[in-house]
Amino acid sequence: MTHLRSIFVIVFLLICNSLFAQTKVEEPTLLLNKQGTFKVIDWGVYTHYDCGFKKTETDANYKKLIAITDAVRKNPVMSDLKGFDGQARFFAKECDDKLGYGIPSRISFEFCAWFLYKGEEEKSCIEPPHWDILLNKINSIGGAAYGYTAFKPWGNVREGFNFELWESAAEKVNEIFFCPANKQTLAPGVDLYKESDIVLYNPERPAYWMPVTIRESFDLLYNYWKLRPDLQPDDPMVKELDDEYADFTETEKDGYAHSGGRGFLSQISADEKYPIMMRVNTAYWNKNLPRSAIQIISFYCPVDKEYTKSMAERWLKHNSSGYHSEHFIETLDYKLLIPVVDK
């Protein structure tokens, strides 16, 4: 019986393996030599927000978006279009009447890969891999340091509370941010942050960001916490700010604020080895130029091309649609886009 049972088990396993082999899912493979196409898609770039731009301004700006698209298409991957269909999708960005000037937008270059699957050619174009350019967004890579909110309260509001003042205080706090790390100026008008984020600008204009002093940053923080609806007579949050502010000398308070602070509210230090706190410098905008002009742009472009090359090779090995976007970034030369900045 033991011998027969062993034979039965072996036969059963052989049958299972045979069935598994027959039902194994066929994996799609990239069609690297398939000739691709290219098109531009206007995703409501001037209609999503009512920013008050004139038709003459949006028409002129649209021509500039096309010129930027043409510049990107000089990249060898974009010009060859082998193995994918390319799409340049124009997106609107929210208006910024306080800190902005020109028409803000985003161009998303999408890579719709072609695959061979079960003997048929198929294109993957649902949420495809993409590479983006942000236009006329002066704080595109420096997120708010605090992200404070100011929601209108429904009850338990202290006497004298003013929602509009509190909301304004939150907005002002959120205008300051810690500069991204490892800034390098690669050439006049070309700044690199975090070894991967590039900002192109007019170097003849004032700096697009300005440093903030410790005194200025604490003034903004005090305004927010002292204006909130649940402020108490001996408020613990204000007391915490008092304690953190007291750690700085008067000389340090007039110096620039940096990250790395031990206080949980301010997160501020005077240590220059940490990123500096910044705010947008509205004087950067040249308002003698039309609002259709492109005055500042930013995009992802790592300087370590070996890293992006290895990523592309990894996606290729696994027949992933991410191959084409990584291969594009690997071959991207930021110098192609320097001429699109208006001066």
Helices 163-173 and 214-227, interaxial angle, to 10°? 150
Q: Please give the structure tokens belonging to residue 263.
A: 């206080």
SS3 188: coil
The residues spanned by each domain of the chain are: 29-138+291-340, 163-184+210-284
Per residue in 136-175, pLDDT tens?
Answer: 999 888 777 899 999 999 888 999 999 999 999 999 999 9
Is the pLDDT assigned to residue 2 strictly greater than 80?
Answer: no
CA distances from 277 to 48, 85, 147, 246, 317 (A): 32, 42, 14, 19, 42
Which helix (H) or strand (E) element contains residue 200?
strand 197-201
Mean pLDDT across the chain, nearest whole number? 91
Tell me the pairing of strands 38-43 and 84-92. Answer: parallel
Mean pLDDT in residue range 253-273: 95
Question: Is residue 90 within 8 Å of residue 109, measured between CB atoms?
Answer: no
Q: Which of 49, 39, 55, 40 is nearest to 292 (CA)?
A: 55
Percent over 90 (pLDDT), the chain: 83
Q: How confident is the model at residue 12 (pLDDT cuts 50, 70, 90)?
A: very low
Q: How confident is the model at residue 106 (pLDDT cuts 50, 70, 90)?
A: very high
Query: If 0-12 CB within 10 Å is exposed, 13-18 middle and 19+ buried, where does residue 108 land?
Result: middle
Q: How confident is the model at residue 271 (pLDDT cuts 50, 70, 90)?
A: very high
Per residue in 300-315, pLDDT tens?
Answer: 999 889 999 999 999 9
Is the pLDDT assigned to residue 10 strictly greater than 50?
Answer: no
Per residue in 198-215, pLDDT tens?
Answer: 999 999 999 999 999 999
Q: Which of 77, 75, 103 is nearest to 90 (CA)?
A: 103
Per residue in 16-46, pLDDT tens?
Answer: 444 344 444 578 999 999 999 999 999 999 9
SS3 292: coil
CA distances from 16 to 2, 10, 20, 23, 63 (A): 21, 10, 6, 11, 62
